[in-house]
Structures are given as structure tokens and as C-alpha cells.
Structure 1
Amino acid sequence: MDSFTHAFAIAIPLLLAGNAILVPFAVIGAVIPDIDAIFFFVSDDEPSRYIFTHGGITHSIAGAALLSLAAFIALYLLSTISWFGQYFPEKVTLMAGFAILTGAMLHILLDYLAYPGIPLLWPFSTEKFTLGIFPGPSLPILIASLALLCLILTRRAGNGVCQGYMVVFLAIILIYAGLAVYANAETDGKAIPTINPGRFITIEETDGSFVVRPFDILHGSGAEILYRKYTNITPAEVAGIAMLPEVERLYYHSYIVTAERRGESIVLRDPLREEKVFRYPLDHSSLVIPVRDTLSG
């Protein structure tokens, strides 16, 4: 989800419930998980830090909780300083801290609805989880959020408008959820939504290959493309390099990974991202590992 939607998703219910005083704190909580968008300078040059990326550490339950605690402590300390305190209309109480945490957890819940998923259980696991409803940010919800922002800026966003936004917001989620359920029921493997709500990319995994097909809600499945998992290499050899940080990073970002031995190198790649079937994440879609490095490791 986009930042406007994350902010409105918590602010509007609080306003309608008469808790306007908590809105600034809840909005802070709702947007701070996306601070990881600036973490690229931490992870780009060091593969072992791949979890420090957008949709990474701050998008886990533990990470969002720790970030919320840090934000609460920072705001509380600032509010005790006389010069900064004038900008806080109310004391930063534990209720404000709970609002920050609620906003952050709602952010995690909304991002759980979308591909490519988030590492909910970090630090225990870096596996990504997703309900698989959206292909990332939802364009219809973004449009609704921008429309609401325009109404707010022009002072035309009363209770009726806010209620209408929530109805549209929930309706879009239910529609996309219904389309995803239908697509997964009609196809094998998993159906990944695209920017077109009526079109999916399905991935069926076998022991030796990935079978990829487009699926259209109106026209059904299209022609399949087969990607071999292993070419001139064995699964055991691939398992032998699985713990290399750069390999872990590739798997973390990828939808599928194929492996091929080419001379003195092992080539790992996510063909779906290389071929722009999926355009996010853009980086780290392939990897070349010299065989000598695998032997020395």
C-alpha cells in the first residue's frame, strides 16, 4: 500500500470514532515501517544484510513493534523539552504509544495482503508471507486515497466523505480477495495478481521445473512457459551454496529461481523478474558464482 492509504486507513476510523487527538500518533505509526525505503545504502553492498531493504525488517511484527517503541520514546523525550513541547497539543501518554503501535500493526496487516510478501516472523525466519490479494500497491485504493486527500485539502471532507472512503476501501479489498480466490481455485499452483485485476500469473512447481501461465478471469489460462530448475547441475550442488549471503538474498527477492552450471560458474536467476514479468523488486534478479568459490566455501 502507498503511504497515503496507510495513513488514512488508521486516521479515518479514529476520526469517525471521535478519537481525533490520537490521529497524529497513529499516522506516525502507520507510515514509519516504510522508513526502510532508505535502507538500500545498508544492504546494497553487503548481501548478508538483505533483510535491511524495503519490505524487510521493519515490515515484520517484531520490527514494527520495536520501531513503534523507538518512535514513542523519541516523541516522549521531545515533548519534555520546552522548545519542542509547544508543538505537542497533548502529553505523549501510553495511549499515544498504543496508537503508534496500532498504526504500525495495521500497516503490516495491509502489506500482508500484497505480493511479494513480508517477513512477518523475523528474527526467527526471513520467509515472506502474503495473502496474495494485491500485486503490491493497489491502484484503485491509491486513486481513492488521493481523491480523499484533495477533499481534505479543500476542506470538503466531512463525516460522509470519510465514511464513503472506508466503504470504497473495504469494497476494493473484498473484490480483489474474491478475484484471487477464484483464480487460485481455477488454476494449479499459486496465482499471483498483476496490475490488471482480472489477470494473474500462475506458477506451478514440480520437482524439476516451474510451469508459468497467464490466467485471465474472462478467458482462462494461456500458453505455458516451462523453466527448468536445474541445468547441468544437481539439487545437492545448489543446496551446497544455499547458505551464501548473496544466494540467500537472491532467493529472498525472487518468485522462482533456476540454476545452471556454465563452465566454471553456477548461474542462479529469477527469470520472471529478468524478463519483466514482475518488475519488483528490480535489483538482484541473477547471480553468477565461480565454482571455485563454492568449493572453497
Structure 2
Amino acid sequence: MDSFTHAFAIAIPLLLAGNAALVPFAIIGAVIPDIDATFFIIPDDEPSQYIFTHGGVTHSIVGATLLSLVIFCALYFLSGISWFGQFFPQEVTLMAGAAIFAGAMLHIFLDYLAYPGIPLLWPFSTEKFTVGIFPGPSLPILFLSLTLFVLVLTGRAGERHYTAYLAIFLAIILVYGGIAAYANIETNGEAIPTIHPTRWITIVETDESFIVRPYSIPDGTGRETVYQKYLNITPDELAGIAMLPEVKRLYYHSYIVTAERRGDQILLHDPLREEKIFRYPLDHSSLLIPVPEIRS
């Protein structure tokens, strides 16, 4: 989800409940997990730290909790400094900390609705999890949030607008959730959403290949494309490079990965991202590495 939506999703329920003083803290908590968008230089320079990327460590339950605690402690400390204290609408109490935490957790939940997923269980696992309702940021929800943002900026937003926003917001999630449920029933749970709500991509994995088919409502399954997993190389030969940091980084970002031996090098890549079938994540879609030496 976009930052406007994350902010409004936590602020509006608080406003309607009469807790306006907690709104600034909740908004900080709701947007702060996206601070990881500034971390890209870390995994670029050090592949083993691939979890420090957008939608990575700060989008886990543990990471968001720790981040909330750090923000709360920082605000509590700053509020005690006379010059900074004037900017705080109320005393930084445990209720303010709870609002920060609630905003962060709601952020995690909303991003959990979208592909390519988030590593909820870090540091215990870097596996990505998603409900798979949205293909990333939802365009209808983004438009809805921007409309409310304009109303707020122009001073025209009121309780009825907040109520309408919340109702439409939940309705969009329910509608997309229903479409996703139908698509997954029809494709045996293989459907991945695209920008168009009625068009999906299905991926079926076999021992030798990935079978990719478009799916649309109501037209059904389209023509398949087969991507061979291995070309001039065997799974056993890949075992020697599976734990390399750059290889793990590639798999973390990819929908599928194919391997091809080219002389004394191995090409690993995600053809779905390279062919722009999926445009995100943008980076680390291919990798060319030397064939590992076999030790006797």
C-alpha cells in the first residue's frame, strides 16, 4: 500500500473514536516501516544482507515491533527537551507508544494483502507471505486516499468524509478479496494478481519446468509458456552455489528462477521480471556466476 493509505487507515478510526491526540503518533507508526526504502544500498553492496530492502526486515512482525519501540523511545526522549517538546500535541505516554505500535502493525497487515509478500517471520525465516489480493499498491485505494488528502489539505474534510472513506476502503478490500478467492478456486490456488483486477497469472512448478499461463475472468486460462528450470546443467551442479549470498538474494526477489550453463559460467534469472510480466521487485533479476570448482 501507499503511504497515504497507511496513514489514513489508522488515523481515521482514531478520529472517529475521538482520539485525535493519538493520530500523529499512529501516523508515524503507520509510515515508518517504509523507511526501508532507503536501505537499498545495503543489499546492493553486501548481498548477504538482502533482507534489508523495501518490504524486508521492517515489514516483519519482530522488525516492526522493534522499530516502533525505537521510535517511541526517541520521541519520549525528545519530548523532554524544551525546544522539541513544543512540537508534541500531548505528553508521550504509553498510549502514544501503543498508537505507534498499532500503526506499524496495521501497515504490516495491509502489505500482507499484496504481492510479492513480506517476510512476516523474520528473523526466524525470510520466506515471504501474502494473502495475494492486490498486485502491490492498489490503484483504486490510492485514488481514494489521494482524494481524501486533497479534501484535508483544502480544509473540506469532515466526519462524513472519513466515514465514507473507511466504508469504501473496506469495500474495495472485500471485493478484491472475493475476486481473488474466485480466481484461486478456478486455478487451484496458483493465481497471482495483476494491475487489472480480472487478469491473473498462474505459475505451476514441476520437477523440470515452470508453466506460466494467463488467466482472466470470465475468459478462463490462456496460452501457456513453459520455462525450463535447467539448461545444460543439473540440480546437483547448482547445489554448490545455492548458499552464495547473491544467489539467495536473487531467489528472495524472484517469482521463478531458471538456470543455464554457458561455458564456464552459470546464468540464473527470473524471466517473469525480465520480461516485465511482473515489474516489481525491480532489481536483482539475473545473475551470472562462475561454475564452481569441484574439489576432489
TM-score, L = length of structure 2: 0.98
Compare 181-190 and 168-177 and name the one that shifted more: 181-190
SS at match of 1:240: coil
CA distance in 2, matches of 1:14, 1:158: 14
Q: How many residues align?
A: 295
Distance in 2 (CA, whole Å) between partners of 1:169 and 1:258 is: 39
Q: Which residue of structure 2 aligns with residue 134 of structure 1? A: 134
Q: Does 1:36 align with 2:30?
A: no
What corresponds to 1:247 in structure 2? 247
TM-aligned CA deviation for residue 188 of structure 1: 4.0
Q: 1:51 matched to which residue of 2?
A: 51
CA distance in 2, matches of 1:115, 1:181: 15
| Deviation by residue 1:32-52 (Cα, 9 ceiling, x = unmatched) | 000000001211121111111
Deviation at 1:240, TM superposition (A): 2.6
Equivalent residue for 1:60?
60
Question: Deviation above 4 Å: which 4+ runs of structure 1?
Answer: none
Residue aligned with 1:215, SS: strand
Q: Secondary structure at the match of 2:184?
A: helix
After superposition, give the CA deviation of every residue in 1:57-108 in whole Å (9 maximum; x if it has no partner): 1000010001000000000000000111111121100110010000000000
Distance in 1 (CA, whole Å) between partners of 2:197 and 2:127 is 26
Equivalent residue number for residue 187 of structure 1 = 187
Alignment correspondent of 1:230: 230
For residues 102 and 281 of structure 2, the distance between their equivalents in structure 1, rounded to whole angstroms, comes to 28
Following the alignment from structure 1 to structure 2, what is the Cα–Cα distance between the partners of residues 154 and 168? 21
Q: CA deviation at 1:295?
A: 4.3
Measured after TM superposition, the shift of residue 225 of structure 1 is 0.1
Report the secondary structure of 2:239's partner residue.
helix
Question: Which residue identity lines up with residue 38 of structure 2 in the other structure?
Answer: I
C-alpha distance in 1 between matches for 2:110 and 2:6: 8
- Structure 2: which amino acid aligns with 1:163? T
Structure 1 counterpart SS, 2:122: coil
TM normalised by structure 1 equals 0.97
Distance 1:203 1:264 in 2: 30
Q: Which residue of 1 aligns with 2:175?
A: 175
Structure 2 distance, partners of 1:224, 1:142, is 32
Letter paired with 1:283? D
Quote the RMSD (CA, aligned, Å): 1.0
What is the match of residue 102 of structure 1?
102
CA distance in 2, matches of 1:203, 1:56: 23
- Partner of 1:206 in structure 2? 206
Provide the C-alpha distance between the structure 2 equivalents of 1:35 and 1:101, rounded to a whole number of angstroms. 15
Q: What is aligned with 1:86?
A: 86
Shift in CA distance, 157/232, structure 1 to aligned 2, threshold 3 Å:
same
Aligned partner of 1:116 in structure 2 is 116
Q: Larger deviation: 34-43 or 246-255? A: 34-43
What SS does the aligned partner of 1:261 have? Answer: strand
Kindly provide the CA deviation profile for residues 168-223 of structure 1, in whole angstroms up to 9, marking residues without a partner as x.
10011011111111111111451110001110011111111110011111211110
